[in-house]
Amino acid sequence: MNTLLKEAYSADAFRQQGHALVDLLADHLATAEAGTGPVLNYQLPEEQLAYWQADFAQPTNIDPIPLLATMLQRSIHLHHPQCMGHQVSPPLPLAALTGLMTGLLNQGMAVYEMGMTANALERIVTQWLAEQLILGNEAGGLLTSGGTLANLTALLTARAIRAPADVWEEGTTSRLAIMVSEEAHYCVDRAARIMGLGTEGIIRIPTNDRFQMRTDLLEMYYERAKAKGLVVFAVVGSCCSTSTGSYDDLTAIADFCEKHTLWFHADGAHGAVAALSETYRHLVRGIERADSVVVDFHKMMMTPALITAVLYRHDADSYRTFQQKAQYLWADAEAKDWFNSGKRAFECTKLMMSANVYTLLRTYGPRIFTANVETLYELAENLTEQLRSRPDFELAVEPQANIVCFRYVGAEVDAQQLDQLNTQIWTRLVTQGAFYIVQTTIRGRVYLRVSLMNPLTTPEHLTRLLDEIVRCANIGVTERITANHPAS
């Protein structure tokens, strides 16, 4: 055997490197959770690329730990309690360890014998989640790689079942369309375009002052679409929207879909897990009537990305999505066998993602997910109270989830200058690295946006954030005054 290959596959070397890596990651975790270092060491894209280009030119090193330590140091630290940016969870350490195992096993899931355990675990995990959403006795689903692919999969199923012709065999014979909130995630728009619906086939329903779909307008927009010759086959409800964390009225959408025999899809990638809490379950009232639901485990359920469930009220519907023969994979392409994942999922060689969720459920039970949802939503309520008590801040909308949009308004400047000032605040925060949040534009105005994803974040961290924003704002105002009135 080739010497290099033999050394690379060495169990002893793996043991030694594995111990060293776990020590490195444990130290990183302890430092990040203590909040003693920065959230990120920000560099411009060109600087980051130049660093790694120079590194790539170096000689190989049989010890990978220094390289991995550098990657760690030059990455954003999601476990830091002052990391409040995007909707990505700090994974539980156990989930990361499970990922190490599944990475080594490398089990595909398209056919049963390549993913015997993974397919069985996926069946259990998806049925468990469907039960939590009260989708009924016939419910089930599958796991796939992220919300974008999950929403596309669900809408492909909707088209297969609700379109007037067999699109899979005959191609598009009608001008198909879906109805979505104007606040829906961009991946819904992307999915519709991938499906060939075009701009006209994406009917955007305006939102109210809380950024929720105006369900009172559904009937009017539906009739307009019909008059244009469009065939609406699905309505997408957001629970919750990405930008503001607003929940659509799912019950009203369900009523409308039942009236017109349309597919009701609930994009619950972020917020459907409110169903796991008795305190917040009311936010997703009506989700049990959805024909399909998408839920990201890597957002609110503390797993590494990407793990997303596509759930169906009638599990049998999922077999209509892709109808292809592949004799080398399975003998009967028509059989509805859950254990051959490739029949229902977009991916063929799919990661063993079910093991991550199953391990957390078997170790901690569902209560750990409930605790996470309630902790993060309560943190958003605390931040909201703090913002209300400080007149130099303004909320974009009353938060429903753990997403809070607000801006600094303490400077006596016009609206455009206020937008510029909030952009400057965000830039200064990110480049300093003590906090990480994002900015967004809501109805033409710039807002700061916080996604509270780390259950180790405390109200004290939130107070520090607001204090730091005020400090950055004061620096920005001083710089503006100096620029407008330079010393003579």
**Which among 218, 271, 264, 214 has a CA at the least distance from the CA of 242?**
271
Is residue 295 within 8 A of residue 265, CB to CB? The reply is no
Coil/strand/helix, residue 235: strand
User: In the prediction, which pLDDT does 311 show?
Assistant: 97
Q: How far is CA 103 from CA 34, 89, 98, 350, 441, in A?
A: 29, 20, 8, 12, 39
Could you tell me which residues come within 8 angstroms of residue 248 by beta carbon, excluding any fewer than 6 positions away? 181, 212, 213, 215, 237, 238, 239, 241
Q: Is the four-CA dihedral 124, 130, 133, 136 of positive or negative sign?
A: negative
Judged against a pLDDT cut of 60, whether residue 133 lies above it is answered with yes
Is residue 272 within 8 A of residue 284, CB to CB? The reply is yes
Average model confidence (pLDDT) across the chain: 91
What separation, in Å, do the N-terminal and C-terminal C-alpha atoms of the chain show? 78
Judged against a pLDDT cut of 80, whether residue 112 lies above it is answered with no
Cα–Cα dist 472/466, whole Å? 10
- pLDDT band with cut points at 50, 70 and 90 for residue 330: very low
Is residue 191 within 8 A of residue 152, CB to CB? The reply is yes
Judged against a pLDDT cut of 70, whether residue 193 lies above it is answered with yes
What percent of the chain clears pLDDT 70, i.e. is strictly above it? 93
Is residue 290 within 8 A of residue 250, CB to CB? The reply is yes
Sheet hosting strand 175-181, strand order edge to edge: 140-144, 308-312, 292-296, 263-267, 230-238, 175-181, 202-205
Structure-token pair, residue 139: 């419910």
Q: How far is CA 298 from CA 12, 59, 91, 281, 309, in A?
A: 32, 36, 8, 20, 10
> The whole model's pTM is what?
0.92
Cα–Cα dist 292/159, whole Å? 12
Q: Is the four-CA dihedral 407, 412, 417, 423 of positive or negative sign?
A: negative
- pLDDT band with cut points at 50, 70 and 90 for residue 481: low
Summarize pLDDT for 336-395 with one digit per residue, the tens: 666 667 667 777 788 899 999 999 999 999 999 999 999 999 999 999 999 999 999 999
Orientation angle between helical segments 459-484 and 367-388, nearest 10 degrees = 40
**Residue range 101-106: mean pLDDT, rounded:** 93
Summarize pLDDT for 415-468 with one digit per residue, the tens: 899 999 999 999 999 999 999 999 999 989 999 999 999 999 999 999 999 999
Is residue 439 within 8 A of residue 446, CB to CB? The reply is yes
Q: Which of 25-29, 111-115, 122-126, 257-261 has the lowest mean pLDDT?
A: 111-115
Lookup result for tokens 């609206």: 415
- Select from 3.40.1360.10, 3.90.1150.170, 3.40.50.300, 2.30.30.40 the CATH code of 13-40+76-91+367-483: 3.90.1150.170
Query: Phi and psi (nearest 5°) for 191?
Result: -60, -45
- On whether the 108-365 domain is CATH 3.90.226.10, my answer is no
CB-facing half-sphere around the CA of 25: CA atoms within 13 A: 15
Q: Domain segments of the chain: what residues?
A: 13-40+76-91+367-483, 108-365
Cα–Cα dist 338/356, whole Å? 19
Q: How far is CA 208 from CA 98, 133, 303, 406, in A?
A: 43, 26, 33, 18
Q: Give the residue with greater pLDDT, 185 vs 297.
A: 297
